[in-house]
A and B are shown apart, each in its own frame.
Chain A
């Protein structure tokens, strides 16, 4: 158990709909990262937050948005869903750097299926 919690684990929805994925980082971790993993694909970096502020952006579509709340949990909002958005969405957290390694701790993922 990494200590990172993602909900829901599975989600099935229709094209055009909107969903929200939630992530609770490990206790004490300030950074939250979101990644998308399509079928048999690598991980595409979407966005990163640190202590409530957006710090880095990757290949995130305009239909997607995210935020990190004061209690450090994060939500990834996916709207106007398309078939191609079907994927595993991972959240990961990382402790404050300061020479401590910088590795990520991943949640189990939210599997989104768009029909």
Chain B
């Protein structure tokens, strides 16, 4: 069964500094990896995904993520944080492409950007 871990409950960064939100995964077969963001009292919004190809994927709002197969990681990054980036971030893994594939989410990391 697949699983995903987000080792940090909270990440605090000063505005303008780079940020990293960590994610590691476990899945049999090829991983399909995703990042989502959740603002207060809202549903989750898709940020970016890794399916195949370049290990560095770019997504919405200036975010990018680096896939590292040997370390089974998919860390979310942004070169310069904004206060508006403060939100709850979820990493997710899909265990395949079939209509029966599950999408499992990590426990979430709360990102706080201070002015």
Contacts and interface: CB of A to CB of B under 8 A. Distances in A.
A42 B108 contact: yes
B49 interface: yes
A50 interface: yes
B98 interface: yes
B94 interface: yes
Contact of B98 (A41, A97, A106): A97
A45 B104 contact: yes
Given A97-B97, A102-B97, A41 B107 contact: yes
Interface residues of A, number: 31
Contacts of A56: 100-102
B46 A103 contact: yes
Contacts, number: 73
A103 B49 contact: yes
A42 B107 contact: yes
A48 B46 contact: no
Interface range on chain B: under 10, 10 to 19, 20 to 34, or 35 or more?
20 to 34
A38 to B, nearest CB: 11
A34 B45 CA distance: 15
Contacts of A112: none
A90 B49 contact: no
Interface string B34-72: 101000001111100101000000000000000000000
Interface of B: 32, 34, 36, 42-46, 49, 51, 90, 92, 94, 97-108
Interface of A: 2, 4, 30-31, 33, 35, 41-43, 45, 48, 50-51, 55-56, 58, 90, 92, 94, 96-97, 99, 101-109
Given A45-B105, A55-B100, 11 more contacts: A2-B43, A41-B107, A43-B90, A43-B108, A48-B100, A97-B98, A99-B97, A102-B94, A102-B97, A106-B45, A107-B43
* In the A-B complex, the 4 residue pairs with the closest CB atoms: A106-B43, A42-B107, A50-B99, A55-B100
5 contacts: A45-B104, A45-B105, A56-B100, A106-B44, A108-B43
